[in-house]
Chain A
Amino acid sequence: MRRIISVLMENEPGALSRIIGLFSQRGYNVDSLCVAPIEDSSLSRLTITTAGDDKVIEQITKQVNKLIDVLKISDLTDGQHVERELMLIKVGTRSDSVRDEVKRTVDIFRGQVVDITPRNYTIEVTGTSDKLDAFIHTMSQTAEIVELSRTGVCGLSRGEKSMRQ
């Protein structure tokens, strides 16, 4: 089962490698990873999407929590949550008709064209991972995909809950 795990940790050199190392050392999957400092720059927040049954996920959370640099860990998929992923995608637009169709698709997916050359568009799309997958699939039927980059999932739990509490 797909899980989104959020980790609050010290923003120190080496902290990220400890978490990544732990995943590979213990044979856990990392499907995506997204990390950056938060408003208190001494801390970083890291979001990992992984997969596993309840027993594996329990071990992952316990093992990660055991790392000295980790303050808190929570499985966002345990409750209601908001998740987003951002993608930049460059597609070939060799004719007017392709350009029109690409623009229509971008609008439907509420994306934005952020860069244009005579030969391609660079598009920004945000949403759940499923939505980005759907966008890629749709776009591939209209235009040639030149390259793309995705940030990996980041997320927060819904409502009043906060990891800093």
Chain B
Amino acid sequence: MEMMSGAAMVVRALKDVGVKHVFGYPGGAVLDIYDALYAQEDVQHVLVRHEQAAAHMADGYARATGQTGTVLVTSGPGATNTLTGIATAYMDSIPMVILSGQVPSVHIGEDAFQETDMVGCSRPIVKHSFLVKRAIDIPDAIAKAYYIANTGRPGPVVVDLPKDIVNIQESHPYQFPDKVQMRSYNPTIKGHMGQIKKALKALLEAKRPVLYVGGGAIACDASSLVTELAEKLHLPVTNTLMGLGAFPGDHEQCIGMLGMHGTLEANKTMHNADCILALGARFDDRVTNNVDKFCPHATIIHVDIDPASISKTINAHIPVVGSVKSVLTQFFEQMHEINDTERKEQLADWWEQIASWRTRKCLSYAGSNELIKPQQVIESLYRHTQGDAYVSSDVGQHQMFAALYYPFAKPRRWINSGGLGTMGFGLPAAMGVQFAHPDAVVCCVTGDGSIQMNIQELSTCMQYGLPVKVISLNNRALGMVRQWQDMIYKGRHSHSYMDSLPDFVKLAESYGHVGIKVEKPEELEDAMARCFALKDKLVFMDIAVDQNEHVYPMQIKYGAMDDMRLSKTERT
């Protein structure tokens, strides 16, 4: 058996798992591991400027590829700085492994320098965690961590490594397990055949069916099956914020995103449906609005790999536990030949109804000759990237504009913090995506508030030559907060404005990048063209947009799904 130090084992185990990139920041407790990284070329380490960003980069990397993202940080502040990133990944079920240094075993519990109980701190926001006690357990713990992170419902896993067990002066036998088996962890992948037959029957008999597709369909790479099912059965499809791209946004059967800022047609279709097939979606409060008024006529079929997601907020009439991919495959096995003409006939009235909701054109907005509209920026971005870019976003109005006005045709292209709503996510996530796809066009749609929460990573971009395109919708305000204050707090803009913004162009330039300021509508197209012509450069687009624009449609609180404001003056 090969002999090596604990630190070497960590790096070797990462290689054996297939890790290509590690996002991290060194410090006292992990210096041995960093020394082991120095001596090899299999695993590339990316030095960030703040540990939170390391977690978001690993997260973006995972979302864009489906592969587990990896983070390496030191004990204490290094570890706690990752917590927001871990919580972000946990809420969106993103596979991630966080290797954190820990003080030497003998000092644990003594309030030693840079000691925090990382396993304890992260416990409510991880799928699982390990505190490794012996060097020989390192390969097993790492193998298990990656297995747990990326099977079943994916999620982040913490591996806490006390400094004494990674000591480079000691040698231990290294053996990487051939196969990981855990008696207490066996996620259900295949659906129950009885339930599948019931679900299929309900779906085929429904007169007003709808497919409600969430991030779970992307996590298990089931997009093509979702599309196949929708096309075969002529179903209208709505994607959740996390599910954008699971079904092509530019497909004629796509009725757009649903929920708080969903389209009128998506929310109307849901509310009036007699059968909802939920695929890897979790009936989040940002979707359902008032649960007591939620879709009163619908038989709800809920397919999810996590049994705890089923009937958590909305009772499922036909629950199916399993991965969307397996369950849809089973659906097709059970489905008889569908007569296309008859099927179309069966849903003709329903589609006619949906068409009438569509005529409202709920995403239309009034343009202006004076001010750039945020919607217009996203539409321009869509054109200049042929709708085929990887787009990360931060959190706020710009996030909703991007979600609504950039119809993603493919899965894993839309990278956003849906569940936790983490400002500061966008830039590092885009960087993670760029590491995974060095030749792809990667944009970060952000705002003047969010970008400043992790702007230090512009430095990392320079170090690694990442040509991320930062599309900043600068409205000199915390737009979404301001919107709520306009709507609910009589326009009292308590601490939602920013009267001391930096000159973002100069800031970008000082980091060695290109900055472009856009202030007038007529400058926008040219500026976008210049931005995307600079293929090898990071370009920071500081775009002054209308401060008073609100995101619409918007659900009305305590109402049903389809109780919505359509503009500042109109409601359903």
Contact = CB atoms under 8 A, between A and B. Distances in A.
Interface of A: 9-10, 13-14, 17-18, 21-22, 25, 55, 58-59, 62-63, 65-66, 68-71
B184 A71 contact: yes
Contacts of A69: 184
Contact of B306 (A17, A21, A55, A66): A66
A71 B183 contact: yes
Interface in B490-540: none
B166 interface: no
Nearest to A26: B124
20 contacts: A10-B184, A13-B131, A14-B119, A14-B131, A22-B124, A25-B124, A55-B311, A59-B308, A59-B312, A62-B308, A63-B308, A65-B307, A65-B308, A68-B127, A68-B182, A68-B184, A68-B185, A69-B184, A70-B184, A71-B184
Contact of B311 (A13, A58, A66): A58
Given A68-B148, A68-B182, A71-B183, A21 B123 contact: yes
Contacts of A18: 123
A66 B124 CA distance: 13
B27 to A, nearest CB: 24
Interface of B: 119-120, 123-124, 127-129, 131, 148, 182-185, 306-308, 311-312
A21 B148 CA distance: 20
A42 B69 CA distance: 32
B129 A14 contact: yes
A9 B123 CA distance: 17
Q: Which of B129, B184, B306, B308 has the most CB of A within 10 A?
A: B184
B128 A66 contact: no
Nearest to B127: A68
Q: How would you classify the secondary structure of chain A's contact residues: helix, strand, loop or mixed?
A: helix
A36 B185 CA distance: 21
A9 B394 CA distance: 40
Contacts of B308: 59, 62-63, 65-66
A21 B311 contact: no
Contacts of B183: 71
Contact of B124 (A21, A55, A71): A21
A68 B123 CA distance: 12
A9 B182 CA distance: 12
Contacts of A25: 124
A71 B306 CA distance: 16
Contacts of B185: 68
A21 B119 CA distance: 12
Nearest to B148: A68
A62 B307 contact: yes
A3 to B, nearest CB: 17
Nearest to B183: A71
Given A17-B123, A21-B123, A68 B128 contact: yes
Contacts of A22: 124
A69 B129 CA distance: 10
A55 B308 CA distance: 11
Contacts of B311: 55, 58
Query: Which 7 residue pairs are nearest across A and B when measured between Cβ atoms?
Result: A62-B308, A68-B128, A71-B184, A25-B124, A68-B185, A62-B307, A63-B308
Contacts of B119: 14
A63 B184 CA distance: 14
Nearest to A21: B123
A22 B126 CA distance: 12
A21 B129 CA distance: 14
A127 B497 CA distance: 64
Nearest to A25: B124
